[in-house]
Amino acid sequence: VLAQVGDGPLAFLAGPADSPDGAQRWEGFATAVADAGIPLDAVSVVRGDFTRASGRRAGEELLRAVVPSALIAANDQMALGAMDALRAAGVRVPEDTLVTGFDGIEAAVLSTPPLTTIRQPMIELGRAAVQVLARRLERPDSAPIVARLPVRILLRQSSQRPS
């Protein structure tokens, strides 16, 4: 997505300040922005709470200042809410603004246009969580366990500029 932004403004819809997932997604985004040579202070950042309603509010807030060339949301629900706000304001996705999310929820493929997302392996994530919980119950004083699972980018129409 960053390769298609050009010189236009970039926006990030962040998750809650106390969310470890939100913090990691921000770190990944910030790294990608730096790698693309985009100054991080040029990015508009609006915070939500991972709900579609907060994504819509964040999108409305963002649109009072700028129409971004690309909007990256920390989850799919907020991306879908932002797309609602963009549509209501007459901003076309992907012609005017590219949009991506994170999680890979089913609603992402059903949206108009279908939402580009980064899919998490939800079943494997659930299995890993149960395994970690079982280990903690067996050894409550053991060190915290960090499990990282692979994700997959699902490129869809919301991030594909028409030719």
Half-sphere exposure of 142 (CA within 13 A, CB side): 12
Q: Which CATH class is domain 2-121+150-159?
A: alpha beta
> Which pTM does this prediction carry?
0.82
pLDDT per residue, tens digit, the chain (163 aa), is: 554 555 678 999 999 999 888 888 899 899 988 998 888 888 999 999 999 999 999 999 999 999 999 999 999 999 999 999 999 999 999 999 999 999 999 999 999 999 999 887 667 767 877 887 888 888 888 887 776 777 788 899 899 887 7
CB contact at 8 A, 162 and 99: no
Domain ranges of the chain: 2-121+150-159
CB contact at 8 A, 8 and 69: yes
Angle at 60 between CA 18 and CA 34, to 5 degrees: 55
What is 23-37 written as a DSSP string?
A: HHHHHHHHHHHHHTT
Residue 64 makes CB contacts below 8 A (sequence gap 6+) with none
